Amino acid sequence: MTGAKLNVRALYKGTFIHTPVLGSLEVIEHGIVGVDHDGTIVILERNRSLEQVIEDFDLEEVETVDVDHGGNKFFFPGFIDTHIHAPQYPNNGIFGNSTLLDWLTTYTFPLEASLKDLTKAKLVYDKVIERTLGNGTTCASYYATIDTDATNLLADLSIEHGQRAFIGKVCMNQNSPDYYCETFEESKESTLKVIEHINKVDPHNKLVAPILTPRFAPSCTDELLHWLGNLKKEHGYHSQTHICENKDEIKWVHELYPDAEGYTDVYKDHNLLDEKTILAHAIHLTEHEKDMIRDTGAGVSHCPISNSSITSGECRVRWLLDNGIPVGLGTDVSGGFSPSILQTARQAVLVSRHLAMSTALEKDKLSVEDVLYLATQGGAKLVGLNDKIGSFELGKQWDVQLVDLDAKGSQVDVFEWQVPHIVEIETYKLKWSNVIAKWLFNGDDRNTTKVWVNGRLVKAL
Ligand code: GUN
Ligand code: FE
């Protein structure tokens, strides 16, 4: 060996499965990954023994995790939830027959406003972080509420639980109920205070980072959007918002912003679109809007469970991808009823089937490999961390889940003849892709037996 000695803390040995490119799985059998004290992947080897690697790299006091004993266990990159409302978690499953605008006033605003009570906020935020981590979500882009202290608490709890997170204090200063609305001054002050807090508790944003969060165009004045856009431009902050989710919402935006050509123009005109922007939903985009989004480099968070539940429509994911727009997945808790990105990916497959039935375009169908890419690599691009998370690569962080299809309580029954055996080389890849499909459609958090973020173990069953 040449060069400086590697500061390796742990070696993981087993099967590694990921989706480095859209539409295909890569299976690395008998792999060994070495992770340093910062949680960075510094060794990637295959077909070696732990002893050989320890000797070759002259490693000392290294922890070893060896799951390379056959069976149906594999390491998979942690999931990235690119759109989730932490305070809405208690409402998961509660949406009746509502659609977006009445859903907001009936179910959502009262719950969000009630989290001004920090005891209640802590109860909800602890639970949503535990639940998402338990489902393999190692990184989440959260909307909190308009409240400064409760939003700061969400940042503190993300650090405490060890989840990578973008924390957005929600901005809304018009068209909102009196009990849940800010003035322009309050929104500015609160946004700056939250950014200051996050940068104090995590100065290098190793785990949590701020994200500017105008709720959506109808709830923000021109003045507030303008201020947020300038702040983004000046500091290069990430931002997130909703776009073209529902037809009544779009009509409303046209009424509120009559000078803008379309909904997307409102954000563009206020400097709120760039490659660090996450746009949730983007279902009913015009060609012009799609081109504008592509040209700015902004990404789309596809939230299929929410889009079915509150009957918003079917996002044309293949159309976005074919046009060069990055796409990730979002649970959109609680427009979506599940905190699980695995379940969201499953529903992305089904929604794409419904879309294909109406377009009669075979290519609109998303594959298992496609949606797992969106859940990991796609999401990483949306949050601007594609050089850090989303796949197994030297230099990336160990944000990983260990999946065991034979775990206690597993709902995935893999029969003996379905188990991949390396000796049957010609069927090996096919068997793994079938096993992964069984995980996608039948698995749940009982199969995610361990989760790490930045190399730290944050869940162990
Ligand atoms: N549009 C504005 N606010 C929201 C929200 O909380 N959830 C969803 N799905 N859409 C929104
Ligand atoms: Fe949302």
Model pLDDT for residues 140-190, shown as the tens digit of each residue? 999 999 999 999 999 999 999 999 999 999 999 999 999 999 999 999 999
- The β-bridge relationship of strands 299-302 and 277-281 is parallel
- Does the structure show a pLDDT above 60 at 433? yes
104 in ligand 1 pocket by Cβ < 6 Å?
A: yes
Task: Identify which of 165, 213, 166, 167 has the alpha carbon closest to the alpha carbon of residue 187.
Answer: 213
Ligand 1, atom 7: closest residue by C-alpha: 335
Global pTM value: 0.98
DSSP-derived pairing of the beta strands 208-214 and 238-243: parallel
Task: Indicate if ligand 1 lies below 6 Å from the C-beta of 245.
Answer: yes
Q: Give residue 427's pLDDT.
A: 75
Residues of the chain within CATH 2.30.40.10 domain(s) are 8-77+390-460
The ligand 1 atom nearest the CA atom of 112: 6
**Top-confidence residue, 152 or 71:** 152
Q: Which ligand is nearest to the CA of 109?
A: 1
Determine if ligand 1 sits within 6 Å of the CB of residue 404: no
Q: Which of 66-75, 316-325, 386-395 has the lowest mean pLDDT?
A: 66-75
Neighbouring C-alpha atoms within 13 Å toward the C-beta of 7: 5
Nearest Cα residue to 300 out of 272, 338, 330: 330
pLDDT at 12: 98
| The domain made up of 8-77+390-460 is a member of CATH 2.30.110.10 | no
Quote the pLDDT of residue 163: 98
Residue 85 alpha carbon, nearest atom of ligand 1: 6
* pLDDT interval class at 417 (50, 70, 90): confident
Please state, in angstroms and rounded to a whole number, the distance separating the CA atoms of residues 459 and 81.
17
Residue range 79-383 in CATH 3.20.20.140 = yes
Q: Does residue 3 carry a pLDDT above 80?
A: no
Query: What is the Å distance from ligand 1's center to 311 Cα?
Result: 13
**Residue range 97-103: mean pLDDT, rounded:** 98
Q: Stretch 272-277: mean pLDDT, rounded?
A: 98
Instruction: Considering the chain, tell me which residue range(s) the CATH 3.20.20.140 domain(s) occupy.
Output: 79-383
In whole angstroms, what is the distance from residue 329 CA to residue 82 CA?
6
How many whole angstroms from 208 Cα to the centroid of ligand 1?
22
Whether residue 332 has its Cβ less than 6 Å from ligand 1: yes
Q: What is the DSSP-derived secondary structure letter of residue 78?
A: P
